[in-house]
Amino acid sequence: MKVISTVQEMVQASRQAERPLGLVPTMGYLHEGHMALVRRARQENRTVVTSIFVNPLQFGPQEDLATYPRDTERDLRLLRDARVDVAFLPNAEEMYPPGFCTFVDVQGVTSRLEGERRPGHFRGVTTVVTKLIAIVRPDRSYFGQKDGQQVVVVKRLTLDLNLGTEIVIVPTVREADGLALSSRNAYLSEQERRAAPVLHRSLCRAREVWEQGQRDAEALREEMRGVIAQEPLAHLGYVSVADAGTLEELRRLDRLAMVSLAVRIGKTWLIDNIVLDGGEKEP
Ligand code: AMP
């Protein structure tokens, strides 16, 4: 596995790589969720590039950029074992050199949910994703359903700007108790960790009433709030039952819907989602 830290070297490696080439963008501190993306990319491409870049642009001033967990040596070992061809690890100066002043802004779908809770977050995501795609020129790019709104935003971005990469979405990988794997789970104390599956329970409750035939979106939101309210350590940010394409809140569940929520447990914000598509039994 090649480890590359400069843009110039990455551009060169991409030009010479066997095609198709799959890109898996990450912020490192890899877990089984990331590795599901890597494995899928490995199955589908001749060359796999995984980027590890904790992107300062997508963190707000009050957020956890400085404390975001990092373990580069372990990450590289995992990527090597998964037969990744190139690990791309640029630093912030390499990605945003002096004078950098161009940003990519997807409108509409970024104004709600995580966009409202984290102003500027998606501008950081779409700017770095555009740069990574421009540098790596992947035929396919792999993203996790875990970050459901990011999926919608990145699909919109690549469509609107004709970025010429296929977006492949990989289902959310969960712990046995339902908690979605996330690098930020490392922040949870033992007690908080025991409380954290409440997000998944709340999503399961929404699916359950939906399967029983409930089609009033507010009734689903109410059920979800009820589940969260039963966990004393959980503080609700939002619950949403939205059109899966536009993320506009629904009144009736009459189309493909993304059911999502953000919950703070202690100091840690956790997010999760499911898609209700008419019978599929995920997660
Ligand atoms: P991150 O390092 O948190 O930016 O995540 C990098 C990629 O891995 C994103 O596309 C995430 O959606 C995806 N990802 C993170 N956690 C999971 C998970 N539990 N299951 C599936 N994909 C995930």
For the chain, give every domain's residue range.
2-170, 183-274
Ligand 1 site-directed mutation target among 34, 155, 170, 271, most atoms within 8 Å of CB:
34
The one-letter amino acid at 63: E
Residue 198 confidence class, pLDDT cut points 50, 70, 90: very high
Residue 117 confidence class, pLDDT cut points 50, 70, 90: very high
What is residue 281's predicted lDDT score, i.e. its pLDDT? 43
The one-letter amino acid at 231: E
Percent of the chain clearing pLDDT 90 (strictly above): 98
Report how many helices (DSSP H) and strands (DSSP E) the chain contains, helices first: 10, 9
Distance of CA 145 from the midpoint of ligand 1 (Å): 8
What is residue 278's predicted lDDT score, i.e. its pLDDT? 59
- Report, as an integer, the average pLDDT of 148-167: 98
Residue 111, number of CB atoms within 10 A of its CB: 12
Residue 277 confidence class, pLDDT cut points 50, 70, 90: confident
- Report, as an integer, the average pLDDT of 227-249: 98
- Report, as an integer, the average pLDDT of 118-139: 98
The matching CATH number, chosen from 3.40.1190.20, 3.40.190.120, 3.40.50.620, 3.10.129.10, for 2-170 is 3.40.50.620
Is residue 68 within 6 Å of ligand 1 at its C-beta? no
With CA atoms as reference, report the closest residue to 4 among 77, 97, 90, 132. 90
What is residue 39's predicted lDDT score, i.e. its pLDDT? 99
Residue 279 confidence class, pLDDT cut points 50, 70, 90: very low
The topology (CATH level 3) of 183-274 is Pantoate--beta-alanine Ligase; Chain: A,domain 2 (3.30.1300)
Is residue 41 within 6 Å of ligand 1 at its C-beta? no
Per-residue pLDDT tens over the stretch 26-67: 999 999 999 999 999 999 999 999 999 999 999 999 999 999
The distance of Cα 18 from the centroid of its chain, to the nearest Å, equals 27
What is residue 142's predicted lDDT score, i.e. its pLDDT? 99
Packed helices 121-136 and 148-160: angle between N→C axes, nearest 10 degrees:
50
Mean pLDDT score across all residues of the chain: 97
Which residues lie closer than 8 Å to 170 by C-beta, 6 or more apart? 36, 37, 40, 142, 143, 144, 145
Return d(Cα 45, Cα 256) in angstroms, integer. Answer: 30
The distance of Cα 111 from the centroid of its chain, to the nearest Å, equals 17
Residue 280 confidence class, pLDDT cut points 50, 70, 90: very low
Ligand 1 site-directed mutation target among 23, 26, 54, 175, most atoms within 8 Å of CB:
26
Distance of CA 129 from the midpoint of ligand 1 (Å): 14
Token digits for 249?
């809140």
Asked if 34 is an active-site residue, the reply is yes
Distance of CA 34 from the midpoint of ligand 1 (Å): 5
